[in-house]
Structure 1
Amino acid sequence: MSTIRRPVGPVAAATPKPLIRRPALVRKRKDDDDEEAPPSSPGKKARVTFDSDVEVRVVSAWEKAPLLIQEEVRRAFTKRAVGDDSGYDKLKDIYGEKKPNEEDLGPSTMKNYTIALLANVSALNKSNSDLVHAVLGSNWLGRTEDYVALYVRLLANLVSAQGVFLADVVRMLVNNLTAGKTHSLGTLKAFPNSLPVPPSNGGIEDLPRVTRLTIYDRAHRALQYLLQLIPSASRILSSTMTNAFPHQTDSRRSHVIYVQNLLRLVEYSPELRGEVLALITERLVKVDVQVQVDLEDLAEDVGEDLVDQIPPARPDLMDDIEEPDLSDREEDSDEDEDDEEAQRAKEITKNVEKMDAILDILFSHYEQSFTGPSIEEQDGSFNILLSQFITTILPTHRSRHTQFLLFHFAQQSSDYVDTFVGTCVQITFDKGQPAIVRQASAAYLASFVARGMHVPSNIVRDVFDYISGELARLRREYEPDCRGPDMRRYSSFYVLVQALLYIFCFRWRDLESAPDDDFEEDDLATPSGQEHQWKSGVKEALSQNVFSKLNPLKVCSTAIVTEFARIANHLSIVYVYHLLETNRRVRVLQSAGTGYGQPNRETALSARRDESYQHLDAYFPFDPYHLPKSKRWLEGDYREWSGIPGLDDEQASESDSDDEEGAECEVEEGTETDETGGSF
Structure 2
Amino acid sequence: MSTIQRLTGPITATTPKPLLRRPTLVRKREDDDEAPPSSPRKKAKVTFDSDVEVRVVGDWEKAPHLIQEEVRRAFAKRALGDDSGYDKLKDVYSQKNGNEEEFSPVTIKNYTISLLANVSVLNKSNSDLVHAVLSSDWLGRTEDYVALFVRLLANVSSAQGVFLGDVVQMLVNNLTAAPPSNGRIRDLPVVTRLMIYARVHRTLQYLLQLIPSAGRILSSTMTTAFPHPTDSRRSHVVYVQNLLKLVGYSPELRGEVLALITERLVKIDVQVQVDLEDLAEDVGEGLVDQIPPARPDLMDDMEDSDMSDEEDDFDEDEEDEEAQRAKEITKNVEKMDAILDILFSHYEQSFGHPSVEEQVGSLNILLSQFVTTILPTHRSRHTQFLLFHFAQQSSEYIDTFVGTCVQITFDKGQPAIVRQASAAYLASFVARGMHVPSNIVRDVFGYIGGELARLRRNHEPSCRGPDMRRYSSFYVLVQALLYIFCFRWRDLESAPDDDFEDDDLNTPYGQQHQWKSGVKEALSQNVFSKLNPLKVCSTAIVTEFARIANHLSIVYVYHLLETNKRVRVLQSAGTGYGQPNRETALSARRDESYQHLDAYFPFDPYHLPKSKRWIEGDYREWSGIPGLDDEQASETDSDDEEGLKSEAEEGTETDETGGSF
TM range (shorter): 0.7 to 0.9
**Are residue 565 (structure 1) and residue 540 (structure 2) matched?**
no
Amino acid at match of 2:155: N
Structure 2 CA distance for partners of 1:104 and 1:332, relative to 1, 3 Å: farther
> 1:113-146, CA deviations, whole angstroms, 9 ceiling, x for partnerless residues?
1111111111111100000000000000000001
Is 2:656 the counterpart of 1:675?
no
* Superposition map of 1:566-581 within 5 A: 566-581=547-562
Q: Is the 8 A contact 1:410 1:416 kept in 2?
A: yes
- Shift of the alpha carbon at 1:529? 5.2
CA distance in 2, matches of 1:411, 1:431: 28
Q: Is the 8 A contact 1:99 1:105 kept in 2?
A: no
Equivalent residue in structure 2 for 1:73, among 49, 56, 71: 71
CA contact (8 A) 1:251 1:331 kept: no
1:222 partnered with 2:203: yes
Q: 1:496 aligns to what?
A: 477
Q: Give the counterpart of 2:357 among 373, 376, 380.
A: 376
Query: Are residues 1:127 and 2:125 paired?
Result: yes
Letter in 2 for 1:59: R
Structure 2: which amino acid aligns with 1:176? N
Q: 2:388 aligns with which of 407, 420, 442?
A: 407
Sort the Cα spacing of 1:81 and 1:560 in 2 relative to 1 into closer, same or farther, 3 A: same
Deviations 1:579-601 (A, max 9, x none): 11111111111239xxxxxxxxx
What CA distance in whole angstroms lies between the structure 1 residues aligned with 2:468 and 2:216? Answer: 47
Aligned to 1:112: 110
- Equivalent residues of 1:556, 1:616 under 8 A apart: yes
Amino acid at match of 1:174: V
Cα contact 1:563–1:676 (8 A) shared by 2? no
Work out whether 1:152 is the aligned partner of 2:150: yes
Q: Unaligned 5+ residue runs, structure 2?
A: 1-24, 27-35, 574-589, 640-645, 655-660
Q: State how far apart, in whole Å, the 2-side matches of 1:383 and 1:448 are.
A: 18
Structure 2 equivalent of residue 233 of structure 1 = 214
2: CA distance between counterparts of 1:101 and 1:259? Answer: 35
AA aligned opposite 1:535? K
Give the % identical residues: 84
Rate the CA distance shift 1:617–1:374 in 2: closer, same or farther, 3 A.
Answer: same
- Corresponding residue for residue 35 of structure 1: 41
Q: By how many angstroms is 1:481 displaced?
A: 1.1
Deviates more, 1:523-532 or 1:621-630: 523-532
Deviation at 1:611? Answer: 6.8
* Superposition pairs of residues 332-411 of structure 1, within 5 angstroms: 335-336=316-317, 338-411=319-392
Corresponding residue for 2:54?
A: 58
Q: TM-score, normalised by structure 2?
A: 0.86
- Which letter does structure 2 place at the counterpart of 1:379? V
Partner of 1:9: none
Structure 2 CA distance for aligned equivalents of residues 326 and 221 of structure 1: 25
Q: CA deviation at 1:527?
A: 3.9
Task: Supply the distance in 1 between the matched residues of 2:98 and 2:396 (Cα, whole angstroms).
Answer: 68
- TM-score of the superposed pair, with normalisation by structure 1: 0.83
Unaligned runs of 5+ residues in structure 1 are 1-15, 18-29, 38-49, 181-197, 593-608, 659-670
The number of equivalent residue pairs is 594
Please identify the structure whose Cα radius of gyration is greater.
2
Cα RMSD between the aligned structures?
2.6
Q: Distance in 2 between matches of 1:325 and 1:533?
A: 68
Per the alignment, do residues 520 and 98 of structure 1 end up closer, same or farther by CA in structure 2, a change over 3 Å counting?
Answer: closer
- Report SS of the residue matched to 1:591: coil
| Per-residue deviation, 1:246 | 0.4
**CA–CA separation in structure 1 for the residues paired with 2:269 and 2:203:** 34
Helix, strand or coil for the counterpart of 2:594? Answer: helix
Residue in 2 that maps onto 1:520: 501
Partners of 1:545 and 1:256 in 2: CA distance: 49
* Counterpart mapping for 1:154-169 below 5 A: 154-169=152-167
When residues 529 and 292 of structure 1 are mapped into structure 2, their CA distance, relative to the original with a 3 A threshold, is: closer
The residue aligned with 2:657 is none
Greater Cα shift, 391-400 or 88-97: 88-97
Structure 1 distance, partners of 2:476, 2:406, is 13
1:618-637 counterparts in 2 under 5 A?
Answer: 618-637=599-618
Q: What amino acid is the match of 2:613?
A: R
Matches within 5 A, 1:586-601: 586-591=567-572
| Greater RCO, 1 or 2 (C-alpha within 8 Å, sep 6+) | 2
1:60 Cα deviation from its structure 2 partner: 5.0
Identify the match of residue 201 of structure 1 among 163, 182, 185: 182
Counterpart residue type for residue 148 of structure 2: L
For 2:133 and 2:334, the matched residues in 1 are separated by 38
Output the CA distance in 1 between the equivalents of 2:531 and 2:599: 19
Q: How does 1:136-285 map to 2 (within 5 A)?
A: 136-180=134-178, 198-285=179-266
Kept in 2: contact 1:289–1:398 (CA 8 A): yes
Residue matched to 1:426: 407
Match of 1:483 among 464, 470, 474: 464
Change (3 A) 1:580 1:106: same
Task: Note the C-alpha offset of 1:536.
Answer: 1.0
**1:336 to partner: Cα distance:** 4.3
SS of the residue aligned with 1:328?
A: coil
Q: How far apart in 1 are the matches of 2:56 and 2:191?
A: 22
Structure 1 residue 677 displacement after superposition: 5.5
Q: Deviations over 1:585-643 (max 9, x none)?
A: 11111239xxxxxxxxxxxxxxxx97711110001000000000000000110000010
Q: Partners in 1 of 2:342 and 2:306 — Cα distance?
A: 18
* Helix, strand or coil at the partner of 1:306: helix
Alignment partner of 1:612: what SS? coil
Decide whether aligned partners of structure 1 residues 326 and 587 sit closer, same or farther in structure 2, where only a CA change above 3 A counts: farther
What is the rounded CA distance, in whole Å, between the counterparts of 1:510 and 1:327 in structure 2? 53
Which AA in structure 2 matches 1:351?
N
Tell me what 2:594 maps to.
613
Give the AA of the match of 2:78. R
- The answer for the alignment partner of 1:89 in structure 2 is 87
Q: Is the 8 A contact 1:61 1:105 kept in 2?
A: no
Give the AA of the match of 2:376: P
Q: Which residue of 2 aligns with 1:461?
A: 442
